[in-house]
Amino acid sequence: MQVISKVHAAFVGMLGFSAGVALACLAVLITMDVTMRNLGLGNFPWLLEVSEYVLFAATFLAAPWVLRENAHVRVDLLLTALPRAAGRLLANLADVLGLVISGVLTWYALRVTADALERGDLIFKELVVPEWPFFVVVVVSGVLLMAEFSLRLAKQAA
């Protein structure tokens, strides 16, 4: 179990780091685009679309890392006001609920991915790209979120 936990932690950490790098690159590209446009040197017509894709992917792929680091937004007023045992029970209930929701999201994302892949669905904007890779991002994120919620529950049980 410890080996799986360490591999999971390393992979999730790598995804969190990659999301940060992608957002930093996006910030640089947007700055370059604005500067070039203001200097009359043209612009990157594809940048708005790419920024949508990067924001989408970064949000989903960083979510397991954010959960692992307890860096997500949560209101712990109730948890701190409750007795320790009740607070732990509520936290476990939240983790079970997160596990179930992640499972449902992953299941539907798998179904939509398979459909989009089978039909060869494309997104037509400035760029023409297949639709299924975006759903794969949701599947990967969902699987990692389920693993993270399971690890949290296992730690609480130990």
DSSP, residue by residue, 82-140: S-HHHHHHHHHHHHHHHHHHHHHHHHHHHHHHHHHHHHT-EEESSSEEESHHHHHHHHH
HSE-up of residue 35 (Cα within 13 Å, Cβ side): 6
At 141-150, the pLDDT tens digits run 999 999 999 9
Q: How many residues does the chain have?
A: 158
Q: What pTM, to 2 d.p., does this model score?
A: 0.88
Beta strands in the chain (DSSP E): 122-124, 128-130
pLDDT value for 1: 65
* Domain that includes residue 135, residue range: 2-157
In this structure, are residues 89 and 54 in contact, taking their beta carbons and an 8 Å threshold? no
What is the tally of structural domains in the chain? 1
pLDDT digits (tens, 9 = 90+) for 31-55: 999 999 999 999 999 999 999 999 9
Helix (H) or strand (E) holding 149: helix 132-157
